[in-house]
Amino acid sequence: MTKKVITITSGKGGVGKTTATANIATALAFDGARVVCIDADIGLRNLDVVLGLENRIVYDLVDVVEGRCRLRQAMIRDKRLPNLFLIPAAQTRDKTAVSPSDMVRLINELRTECDWVLIDSPAGIERGFRNAIAPADLVVVITNPEISAVRDADRIIGLVEAEEKGPVQLVLNRLKPEMVKREDMLSPDDVLELLAIELIGIVPEDEQVILSTNRGVPIVLDGRSQAGQAFRNIASRLEGQNVPFLNLEDRNGFFGRLSRMIRSGGD
C-alpha cells in the first residue's frame, strides 16, 4: 500500500500544523495530484482561513459523520487549484462529535477517489489527536527548534509509536539560521539527535508566511519565498523524489555572497 493518508500533528499548539497542512496540500495539488485536506480541529477550525476558503463552507466534517450530507457535498473546491479540496471542521461542536472509527470509515471512502489525504490534527494528546492519527499511513510531526516544542514532539512520537501508527517523520519549522550559527538556537542536528526520527523537511522562519496567511494564499504559490520552497520540497519528498535539504545560510550575508562569488569564479 502506498502511503497516501498523512496526518500532521505536533502536541504543542502554534508550531505551524495548519500552515504546513495547507502548504503541503497545495504543493501536491499544484503538481497535479487530487488532494483532500481535512481539518480535524473540531471547535477551533482554521485550515479554511489559511486556504482562503472560509466563505464557501456549507457542510463540515461533523455533518458528514452524522449523515446530514454526503462526503462530496462537504468537499470544498479550492479557488485556484480545481484538484484541491477542503473538508472543514465544525466550529460549534467539540472533539467528541467524531470518533477514531468514524475517521477511519470516512477516510476509507476518500482513499478510492483521491491521491492524497492530509489531516490537520488539533494540538494536545486527547480525543482530537486520536481521531487525527487513527486513519494515518504516515504521521508528520511538526516542531520548532525550541525546548517546549521538542519535548512535546517527543511525547507525540512516543504515543504514535505506542499505537503502532508509524512511520513518523519530522518537520522542523521556523528555524532561524543566524541564531543557529551563533549557537543560540537548537540546530537541526541537535533536534534529530534528541528525537531520533527521520527528517522530511526544514522550514526557515519567513515573514512572508504571515502575509500569505493574511491573504489566504498559501506561501508555496509564491516562487520567491524560502519557506514556500521548503514546503514544496516536503511535497516532492512525499512524492518519492530525493530532494536535498535547503542550504539555509544567509544568502545575502557577507559569507553567502563571498561563497557564491568564489563558486561562480571557480566554475
Partner 1 sequence: MSTFFDRILGREKRSARQAKDRLKLVLIHDRIDMNPGTLETLKDELIEVISRHVDIDPGAVQIEMTQDGRQQRLIADIPINPSGRRRSRKNV
Whichever of 88 and 145 has its CB closer to partner 1, that residue is 145
Smallest separation (angstroms) from partner 1 to the CB of 136:
18
Task: Enter the DSSP assignment of 250.
Answer: -
Smallest separation (angstroms) from partner 1 to the CB of 145:
8
Task: Enter the DSSP assignment of 131.
Answer: H
Whichever of 98 and 157 has its CB closer to partner 1, that residue is 157
Q: What is the signed CA dihedral for 233, 236, 242, 246, rounded to 10 degrees?
A: 0
Residue showing cell 532561524 = 176
d(CA 11, CA 151): 9
Q: Which three cell numbers stand for residue 154?
A: 517527543
Looking at residues 162 to 221 of the shown chain, list those that interact with partner 1 (rule: CB under 8 A).
180, 182-187, 190, 194-197
Q: What is the signed CA dihedral for 169, 85, 11, 201, rounded to 10 degrees?
A: 30
- Residue 239 lies near partner 1 (rule: CB under 8 A): no
Smallest separation (angstroms) from partner 1 to the CB of 24:
24
Q: Which three cell numbers stand for residue 239?
A: 512524492
Q: Which three cell numbers stand for residue 123?
A: 494540538
d(CA 141, CA 132): 12
Whichever of 126 and 193 has its CB closer to partner 1, that residue is 193
Whichever of 66 and 249 has its CB closer to partner 1, that residue is 249
Whichever of 82 and 158 has its CB closer to partner 1, that residue is 158
Interface with partner 1 by CB under 8 A: which residues?
A: 146-147, 150-151, 154-155, 157-158, 161, 180, 182-187, 190, 194-197
